[in-house]
Structures are given as structure tokens and as C-alpha cells.
Amino acid sequence: MANAAAHSGMAAATGLEPILRVEHLTMRFGGLLAVNDLSFDVARGQITALIGPNGAGKTTVFNCITGFYKPTVGRIALFSGGLQTDAAIEFVTNSPKRYRRTGEGAVFLLERMADSEIAAKANVARTFQNIRLFTGMTVLENLIVAQHNWLNRASGYSILGLIGAASFRNAEKMAVELAVAWLDRIGLTHRADDPAGALPYGDQRRLEIARAMCTGPVLLCLDEPAAGLNPRESADLNELLLSIKEGNGTSILLIEHDMSVVMEISDHIVVLEYGIKISDGTPDHIRNDPKVIAAYLGVEDEEVDEAEAELDK
Amino acid sequence: MATPEAQPRSENGREATDWLAAIKDAGFLALFTLGLAFPILVFRTRQDLSKGLVLDPRWELVATLVAIAFFARLGWLVFGGRISNAASSTATRIGETLAPLGEYKNVFRYGGLAFLIAYPFLAVLFTGPGGALKWIDNFGIQILIYVMLGWGLNIVVGLAGLLDLGYVAFYAVGAYSTALLSTHFGLSFWICLPLAGIFAAFWGILLGFPVLRLRGDYLAIVTLAFGEIIRLVLINWVELTNGASGISGIPRPTFFGLPFNASDSGFAAFFGLEFTPLHRLFFLFYLILALALLTNWVTIRLRRLPIGRAWEALREDEIACRSLGIDTVKTKLTAFSIGAMFGGFAGAFFAVRLGFISPKSFEFMESAVILSIVVLGGMGSQVGVAIAAVVMIGGTELLRELGWLKAVFGAGFDPTQYRMLLFGMAMVAMMVWRPRGLISKRDPSIILHEKRAIGGDLVKEGHG
């Protein structure tokens, strides 16, 4: 496990404790190797960006982290509280358990957990590249559904709710307050009773982020949050993400193509190409990395000619 | 066909120019009709006395049909734009008139409730004790059973968006468990009723576990098969269910222990009334009314609870639900089992209503009828489902009243034979003019400032 050792060295070098540690993540779809031996850390309380050209495997990594795919190989550990020693991860890895909670905190092995369990227990929330709001439900309802798990418990699994118990009514009031607080932050309070599907695109993007935040996540995964936004909306998004990072202390992992967003707000960037990590570091480091420039801007002319000749055959 | 060219011109009043095209088009359709009718309708086969096959030609019938097709098409091409506009605006208007019923909710709710409570008395008042039997039983009770079944299925299909083609299976489970428990163990209806609901819910969960990983068409096919399995078991497990001949002699419900009969210990004698079979019908009517209202009340309450919102969210987007930590399997199972439970209650009522049940009452057609009530009513809308049940079941019953049509179409004419045809036509008309059902608007389950109904175009139907 030389790689793993080098890995923890890296986290130590940056001086930040990780919230998520991805190790040797490999995802194979039949003959296609979408992600190949990828390892990186997401630092607690920071914004980490996952970038790369189209088809680099970024969304696949996301789907593995959030449990929508089961990785072929690899370990994805999420830490909450102060329990992020290597010994703690090894302990859970060697046990048949999916996660372990102690007084100090918890370790979750996300590759062993199902999607809804990851969201409910490990508190990882995500958004989608193509927005997935409940379009036929109102903006407010979207934010209330996000608080389903604790509200459902508060409704006594519907039994207390059916008889209209006061405890449930209070819980619902709290849920509405949280939703309204988020609506205020994204500036959509006046549209609370409109169907989510009737909102403009930029508002839908923000609402999806607010909905994810209503689940109370420790890690927020955003799949191209700035896609389709105009420059002003992108700037608003930057502000929102920074306020989530500072105000809520939520760690953020985002996939993004919009470099104005990535470079401005990220603390740390991981670059993927063809499923392989080609660079990993601060925005300044990435900006000047020749491998990244080659991946984004292409390579020497003669190689392009070769590729074209290949296509013409 | 040629409609797109023909129609706009006819709307502009320049009809002279498109007559030729219209005649051509109608002629083509007439030929098409002829082609279709030729192998099916031209000869009627019968056996003569020597058992030989005789072909009776029916060219006039074919000619009439072809002529109808020709002129109907021609008329449609020439005046169709206007008719279609009028029809669609009428449909929209009906929808718009129905939609604000939601706004006058209280008037509608209490007025409707008062009418339903008074209904058996009104029936007696207007039609006399003899005629009231039919109006309470065939119209009142029959419709209310379907309203209840529609509301039960609405939880599964309308709210959770799970297409269930085998709902009648749970109705059957409820009916048979009541019939068997009461004939074998002498349990009273009031004990059988909750048991029937529990059994049906149990079967709902049992069916749910293996099938809920399926989506859309696959789920529909498996639920369809499940419905048939239950029916076939009922037919073939003769020792338990008495097979196709069904179970008879199911004890009728009593009024807190007072049977509805002419004996001295009966209901009529106890209250010093003159015995009439109407008493039992009144009782059954109020019983099913109470059960249906219970279904409605529970559904309305559940919709405003986290579980109901999770059902609707599941219908909107299952992936998003999972990303929010909602356990979709449990959510679907609750929808299935609660829907099934109400089916079971209705089944228990059905068993004691006539005192006789047989597998014939639980065929696929019943599932189809219940599902079409939900779809026609507008998926998820309680009022819409009730209206659709009244129209569909009441309409079918009304066909029996059309005996005078025999005078027009000859003595062999039986209007009830056209039930399915009318059903189908109603479906097609709905799909053309109001594809999201009579009431397609969705009411939000929670409001911050003011209530705004959500247009049906934004609400998803779910896909399994």
C-alpha cells in the first residue's frame, strides 16, 4: 500500500483533515474503463473541484461516491466527527460493517452503502447535471420533501400525523422555517408556492442546491452547478457556494466546466482525463500544470493531424 | 391524412377549393372501410337444419357503413375544424368548471355529503319503495364501491405513480377472506372487515417485495399477472374456495347484532317498523358510504404527511428521492399496502353485500375499469376519481334503462352490450381532449403564502 502511504502524506502536507478519502477507485463498464485507480482527498470545510474534459469520468466518480454506482474496485471513506485515523478506516474495512459510529465520530465506507442510505446516514447530498427537481410540486414542497427522514420520524411514521398530534405540527413548522430560511438565501421566497417546474433555469439550479442543503449534509456534491447559467447567475452561484462553505461549514465537491467558477472558489482541484488523475493541487498549481493545459487545449499540431488522418480512413 | 391541408382552408371559409381534396380523402376512407368490413361483415354464418354452413350476405350493412364512413369523413373535413374547436373548448370548459369546485371546497364538500346522506331517502321519495331498490342498490351502492376502489387505487397509481394492473386481486383477497372467515369460523362482519384489510395489505407487501424493483411496463405486467394468479388460485383451489361456483351463504351484516329480517328479533321488529328489504339496503348504503369516506379522509390526511409527499416525490423523480435519502422501497411498499388495504375493505363489503362471491367478480376487466376510473378522473385527484366513477359506473347502469331504444333498433338490440364500446370511446375522447384526466390540477400539500393549483402539464405521471 505504498500509494496509500503517499496519499496520507499528501493530506498531511496540506495540513487539512479530509472528510472524504477516495482510494484506488476503479469503475469498469464491460470493456470500458471509466475510472482507473483514482485516489484523492476532499478536505473538510473546503471546496474541491473535479474537472476534466468531457467523458473523463467525473460524473462516474460522483455516482460512485453517492452510491448510484457500485465501484469495481476501491475504497471511499467518509469521516464525520474526529474519527479519521487510518486505523479507524482499516478497522471498518476489515469488519463486515458498512460504517462505524463511536463517541468521537463515524467512518462510513460509501462503496458498501446504497444511494439512499448514503444520503440518509452519511449525510452526503448531491445535485444532478440535468436538474432533477420535483417539477409538479411547489418550491416549498421540494424543500420539505428533502427533510423527509426526520419529519417522517416526527410524524410517528404517519400515525401521530394522522391524528394531528401537536408534536408533528411543531416539527412541520420547524421544517417550513428551515425551508424558508433557504428560500431567503436563494431569493425565491416569493415563489414558494409556485411549481418548481415553472421556475427559470437559473432559479431551478439554485433551488436544487437549497433542496440538497435541506437534508443537512456534511458533504455537498454538485454536478455542474453552473451549466447553462449566464455570467451574472454564475457570480451569484459563487457567492452562494462560498456562503455555504463559510456559513454552514459544509464541505463541497463539485464538477464544473465553467473555469470562472472553478478557479474563483475552489480551494483544491483534481483533474481527470480518460479516467486517470493527471493533476491535483491548488488552482494556481493547476493553471500552470502542462499536463492540464495539454488536456484542455490539445497537443501539438502534428498529433492533431495524425488523429484527423485516422478519422478520415 | 389530408386534414392539415384541408382544415385551415375550411376555417377560412374558402371551402370551394378543398372540396376535391376532401372528397378524395373521404373516398379513400370509404375504400378503407370497405376493405376492413369485407372479411368481417359481409357474410353472416349460420347452420341450416342439415348442419350445413349457410352464408347470409349482408351487402346493405356494408354499404351503409361505407356510406357513413364517407359522409362522416367528408363532414369532418369540411366542418371538422369548427367541431373539434367547439369540442375541445367544451372539454376545457368542463374542466375549468370542475376545477374551481376545488375553490368552493366547503360548499361542494358539505353539499355533496348532505346529498349522499339524503340520497336513499330521496330515492324512496321520488321512486317509491319498489323503484328505490334499484336506485339505492344499482346506482348508490354500486357506484360507491367503485368510488372507494378508485380512491384506493389512486394512492398507488395517482400519488405514488406505480402502475398497478392487478388491483382487483386485493379486492378478491378481502372478499374471500371475509367469506371464508365468516362461513367457516362464524366471525362477524365487523371482525372480518379489519382482518380483510390486514390480509389484503399483507398481500400487497408480499407482491411488493419482488416487483418494486421493476419500473413502468414491467411493473404493470407483473401486477397484471399477480391479479390473474390470485383469480386462478381461487378457481382451482376447490377444497378451500369451492372453485368457480363460488361461496354462498355468507352471513349478512347485522345492525349491532340485529339482523335485517322479518323475525321478531330483527331490526324492523326491534325498532317497531314494518319490515321491508329497504332497511338492509339503507344500511349497506351508509356502510359503503362510511368506508369510502374513510378512504378519502385517510388519503387526504396522508397526502399532507411526509409519507404522502414522499409518494408524490417518488412519482415525480425516483432518482432525486434516493439522493435525498428517501428509502424508495419502503415508500413504495407503504403505498402498495395502504392501497391494497382499502381494496380489502371494499372486498369485505362486497362479500356481505350479496352474500355470494365467485371468481367471476374478480376478472381483469374489473382492474381495468378501476384503473380507467383513476385515469379518467385525473390521477391523484380525489374529486376527479369520484366524478369518473359516477360517470362510468352510473353510465353503465343507465344503459340498462335504455330499453326504449329497442323501438328504434329492433327487439334484438341490447344497449348494455355496447358498454365496452362506449368505455373505449370515452377513453379516446378523453385522451384527445383532456389527456391528464377530468381534473388534472394538483393541489399543493403545504402552503406558505397563498394556494395556487399546479397545472397538470408540470405534474409527472410516474413511470413505475
**Mean pLDDT score across all residues of chain A:** 83
pTM of the model: 0.81
Contacts 24+ apart (CB under 8 A), B200-203: B200/B170, B200/B171, B200/B173, B200/B174, B200/B340, B200/B341, B200/B343, B200/B344, B200/B345, B200/B347, B201/B337, B201/B338, B201/B340, B201/B341, B201/B344, B202/B337, B203/B169, B203/B170, B203/B173, B203/B230, B203/B340
Residue A269 lies in a domain: yes
pLDDT > 50? residue A3 = no
pLDDT > 80? residue A104 = no
Q: Under DSSP, is residue A250 helix (H, G, I), strand (E, B) or coil?
A: coil
Residue B288 is predicted with a pLDDT of: 92
Per-residue 3-state assignment (H helix, E strand, C coil) for chain B: CCHHHHHHHHHCCCHHHHHHHHHHHHHHHHHHHHHHHHHHHCEEEEECCCCCEEEEECHHHHHHHHHHHHHHHHHHHHHHHHHHHHHHHHHHHHHHHHHHHHCCHHHHHHHHHHHHHHHHHHHHHHHHHHHHHHHHHHHHHHHHHHHHHHHHHHHHHHHCCCCCCCCHHHHHHHHHHHHHHHHHHCCCHHHHHHHHHHHHHHHHHHHHHHHCCCCHHHHHHHHHHHHHHHHHHHHHCHHHHCHHHCEECCCCCCECCECCCCCCCCHHHHCCCCCCCHHHHHHHHHHHHHHHHHHHHHHHHHHCCHHHHHHHHHHHCHHHHHHCCCCHHHHHHHHHHHHHHHHHHHHHHHHHHHCEECHHHHCHHHHHHHHHHHHHHCCCCHHHHHHHHHHHHHHHHHHCCCHHHHHHHCCCCCHHHHHHHHHHHHHHHHHHHCCCCCCCCECCCCCCCCCCCECCCCCCCCCC
Contact A69, A288 (CB under 8 A): no
pLDDT > 70? residue B83 = no
pLDDT > 50? residue B81 = yes
Inform me whether the C-beta atom of residue B341 falls under 8 Å from chain A C-beta atoms: no
Neighbours of B429 (CB within 10 A): 13
User: In this structure, what C-alpha cell is assigned to residue B447?
Assistant: 402552503
Q: Does domain B112-401 have CATH number 1.10.3470?
A: yes
Chain A residues whose CB is inside 8 A of the B314 CB are none
Chain B residues whose CB is inside 8 A of the A199 CB are none
Question: For residue A180, what is the nearest residue in chain B, using CA coordinates?
Answer: B448
Cα separation, A295 vs A99, in Å, equals 37
Q: What is the ipTM of this complex?
A: 0.84
Residue B95 is predicted with a pLDDT of: 64
Residue A179 C-alpha from the chain's centroid:
21
Cα separation, B137 vs A68, in Å, equals 53
Q: Between B143 and A154, whose confidence is greater?
A: B143
Chain A residues whose CB is inside 8 A of the B310 CB are 145, 148, 152
Question: For residue B315, what is the nearest residue in chain A, using CA coordinates?
Answer: A134
What percent of chain B clears pLDDT 70, i.e. is strictly above it?
90
Inform me whether the C-beta atom of residue B444 falls under 8 Å from chain A C-beta atoms: yes
Residue with cell 442546491: A209
Q: Between B226 and A104, whose confidence is greater?
A: B226
Inform me whether the C-beta atom of residue B307 falls under 8 Å from chain A C-beta atoms: yes
Grade residue B123 by pLDDT with cuts at 50, 70 and 90: confident
Pairing of strands A219-223, A124-126: parallel
Residue A58 lies in a domain: yes
Q: What is the DSSP letter of A276?
A: E
What is the torsional sign of CA B79, B83, B84, B85?
positive
pLDDT > 60? residue B102 = no
Split into its structural domains, chain A has a count of: 1
CA-based nearest distance A300→chain B, Å: 42
User: In this structure, what C-alpha cell is assigned to residue A151?
Assistant: 419529519
CATH number of the domain where residue A292 is located: 3.40.50.300
Give the one of B306, B334, B447 whose C-beta lies nearest to A151's C-beta. Answer: B306
Pairing of strands A47-51, A268-273: parallel
Return the CA Rg of chain A: 21
Contact B363, B231 (CB under 8 A): yes
Residue A144 is predicted with a pLDDT of: 92
User: In this structure, what C-alpha cell is assigned to residue B270?
Assistant: 326491534
Grade residue B72 by pLDDT with cuts at 50, 70 and 90: confident
Q: Which of A264-278, B116-130, B269-283 has the highest mean pLDDT?
A: A264-278
pLDDT > 50? residue B2 = no
pLDDT > 80? residue B139 = yes
Residue B10 is predicted with a pLDDT of: 42
pLDDT > 50? residue B12 = no
User: In this structure, what C-alpha cell is assigned to residue B74?
Assistant: 367528408
CA-based nearest distance B302→chain A, Å: 7
Grade residue B260 by pLDDT with cuts at 50, 70 and 90: confident
Question: For residue A134, what is the nearest residue in chain B, using CA coordinates?
Answer: B316
Pairing of strands A105-109, A99-101: antiparallel
When pLDDT is averaged across residues A32-50 and rounded to a whole number, the result is 88
The pLDDT tens digits of the residues spanning B287-297 come to 999 999 999 99
Q: Between B443 and B291, whose confidence is greater?
A: B291
Give the one of A132, A144, A158 whose C-beta lies nearest to B317's C-beta. Answer: A132
Grade residue A298 by pLDDT with cuts at 50, 70 and 90: low
When pLDDT is averaged across residues A91-102 and rounded to a whole number, the result is 78
Q: What is the DSSP letter of A137?
A: S
What percent of chain A clears pLDDT 70, i.e. is strictly above it?
89
CA-based nearest distance B297→chain A, Å: 10
Of A85-89, A165-169, B131-135, B439-443, give the lowest mean pLDDT range: A85-89
The pLDDT tens digits of the residues spanning A183-217 come to 999 988 888 888 888 899 989 999 999 999 999 89
Chain B residues whose CB is inside 8 A of the A176 CB are 446, 448
User: In this structure, what C-alpha cell is assigned to residue A185?
Assistant: 438565501
**Mean pLDDT score across all residues of chain B:** 82
Residue B320 is predicted with a pLDDT of: 92
CA-based nearest distance A223→chain B, Å: 13
Residue A193 lies in a domain: no
Which one of B379, B446, B449 would you mutate to disrupt binding with A, by most A Cβ within 10 Å of its Cβ?
A: B446
Residue A247 lies in a domain: no
Q: Give which of A132, A114, A134 is closest to A124, Cα–Cα.
A: A114
Q: What is the DSSP letter of A195?
A: B
User: In this structure, what C-alpha cell is assigned to residue B434?
Assistant: 383532456
Give the one of B301, B326, B447 whose C-beta lies nearest to A116's C-beta. Answer: B326
Residue A98 is predicted with a pLDDT of: 81
Chain B residues whose CB is inside 8 A of the A108 CB are none
When pLDDT is averaged across residues B425-447 and rounded to a whole number, the result is 80
Q: Under DSSP, is residue A44 helix (H, G, I), strand (E, B) or coil?
A: coil
Chain A residues whose CB is inside 8 A of the B458 CB are 135-136, 195, 197-198
Residue A134 lies in a domain: no
φ, ψ at A139 (rounded to 5°)? -55, -45
Chain A residues whose CB is inside 8 A of the B437 CB are none
Give the one of B324, B450, B459 whose C-beta lies nearest to A148's C-beta. Answer: B324
Cα separation, A7 vs A21, in Å, equals 9
Identity (one letter) of the amino acid at B370? I
Chain B residues whose CB is inside 8 A of the A117 CB are 325
Give the one of A140, A152, A158 whose C-beta lies nearest to B448's C-beta. Answer: A140
pLDDT > 90? residue A30 = no
The 10 Å CB-count burial string (b at 16+, else e) for A162-193 is beeeeebeebbeebbebbeebbebbebbebbb
User: In this structure, what C-alpha cell is assigned to residue B211?
Assistant: 416487483
Domain with CATH 1.10.3470 in chain B: 112-401
Grade residue A15 by pLDDT with cuts at 50, 70 and 90: low
Residue A84 is predicted with a pLDDT of: 63
The pLDDT tens digits of the residues spanning A116-142 come to 888 888 889 999 988 999 988 999 999
Per the document, the length of chain B is: 464
pLDDT > 60? residue A26 = yes
User: In this structure, what C-alpha cell is assigned to residue B259?
Assistant: 339482523
Residue A8 is predicted with a pLDDT of: 42
Question: For residue B329, what is the nearest residue in chain A, using CA coordinates?
Answer: A116
Q: Give which of A48, A80, A65 is closest to A125, Cα–Cα.
A: A65
Residue A172 lies in a domain: no
Question: For residue A177, what is the nearest residue in chain B, using CA coordinates?
Answer: B448
Neighbours of A77 (CB within 10 A): 24
Grade residue B211 by pLDDT with cuts at 50, 70 and 90: confident
Q: Give which of B357, B453, B397, B375 is closest to B143, Cα–Cα.
A: B397
Contact A34, A60 (CB under 8 A): yes
Inform me whether the C-beta atom of residue B330 falls under 8 Å from chain A C-beta atoms: no
Question: For residue A129, what is the nearest residue in chain B, using CA coordinates?
Answer: B320
Chain A residues whose CB is inside 8 A of the B307 CB are 152, 155, 157-158, 161
Which one of B303, B307, B324 would you mutate to disrupt binding with A, by most A Cβ within 10 Å of its Cβ?
A: B324
- Its domain, for residue A34, covers 1-123+252-305
The pLDDT tens digits of the residues spanning B15-68 come to 455 778 888 888 888 898 888 888 877 888 888 788 888 888 888 888 888 888
